[in-house]
């Protein structure tokens, strides 16, 4: 199946996946099928003033928004029918962890065949010549017109333009292969133990993943190899 890039972004009540909540999620799919997705979500808790100061999103703006289960169901529909490669800036340390935590909270299963790219890691690894690597710094360096920073859909659109310039004419497969080279996994990337150091995750959980076939999926091949190097029985 042909891989399809989808740029996505989340705005949240804070920085702690599993404790803080998503209040906006957006995605942008470029190309001939170009389309976008964006929704507020009601976090069922007050938005801290410091979070509103960054995103501009207030309690009033999300009061009548869908709950996270409805929002994620719509997000799943948007991403369906293709080999999804989800791209976010600081994905591995932020957006993906929030996505996994909210899927678990909503009682939904996040597709195990989704692939992810962290554009921040790419920039730091392959464009070390650049002085700064934040999304807005890269936007300025590449002279991309400004939009509303720290709003989910605007950040998706900016990231699309930034990532095109960071990767030139490389294909998604080439990008994924380059990122997988010599990349070490130290934290659990998904599931109920997402974000924990691999050494802190119960070994019977890894055994269960192995028995269920989850570690046989292409997206989890690197995790399986890492567990082998740590001597964790599967």
Catalytic residue among 89, 133, 150, 193, which?
150
- Residue 115 pairs with which residues in a beta bridge? 85
C-alpha separations of 222 from 28, 142, 219, 225 in Å: 27, 33, 8, 5
The helix/strand/coil state of 72 is helix
Q: Which residues have a Cβ under 8 Å from the Cβ of 151 and sit 6 or more positions away? A: 11, 24, 26, 55, 56, 57
* Three-state SS sequence of 88-121: ECCHHHHHHHHHHHHHHHHCCCCCCCCEEEEHHH
Tell me, what DSSP letter sits at residue 216? G
Do the Cβ atoms of 187 and 198 come closer than 8 Å? yes
Q: Is 136 exposed, middle or buried (0-12, 13-18, 19+ CB in 10 A)?
A: middle
Is 89 tagged catalytic? no
C-alpha separations of 24 from 42, 70, 156, 180 in Å: 9, 12, 12, 29
Q: Is 197 exposed, middle or buried (0-12, 13-18, 19+ CB in 10 A)?
A: exposed
| Catalytic annotation, residues | 150
């Amino acid at each position: 199946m042909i891989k399809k890039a989808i740029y996505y972004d989340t705005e949240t009540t804070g920085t702690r996946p599993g404790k803080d909540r998503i209040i906006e999620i957006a995605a942008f799919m470029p190309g001939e099928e170009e389309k976008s997705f964006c929704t507020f979500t009601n976090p069922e808790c007050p938005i801290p003033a410091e979070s509103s100061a960054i995103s501009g999103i207030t309690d009033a703006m999300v009061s009548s928004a869908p709950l996270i289960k409805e929002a994620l169901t719509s997000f799943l529909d948007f991403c369906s029918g293709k080999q999804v490669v989800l791209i976010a800036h600081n994905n591995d340390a932020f957006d993906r962890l929030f996505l996994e935590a909210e899927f678990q909270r909503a009682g939904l299963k996040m597709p195990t065949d989704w692939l992810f790219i962290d554009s921040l890691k790419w920039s730091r690894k392959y464009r070390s010549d650049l002085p700064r690597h934040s999304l807005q710094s890269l936007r300025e360096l590449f002279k991309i017109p400004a939009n509303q920073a720290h709003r989910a859909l605007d950040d998706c659109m900016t990231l699309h333009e930034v990532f095109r310039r960071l990767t030139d004419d490389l294909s998604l497969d080439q990008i994924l292969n380059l990122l997988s080279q010599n990349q070490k996994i130290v934290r659990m990337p998904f599931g109920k133990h997402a974000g924990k150091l691999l050494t802190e995750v119960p070994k019977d959980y890894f055994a269960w993943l192995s028995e269920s076939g989850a570690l046989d999926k292409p997206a989890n091949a690197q995790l399986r190899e890492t567990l082998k190097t740590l001597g964790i029985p599967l």
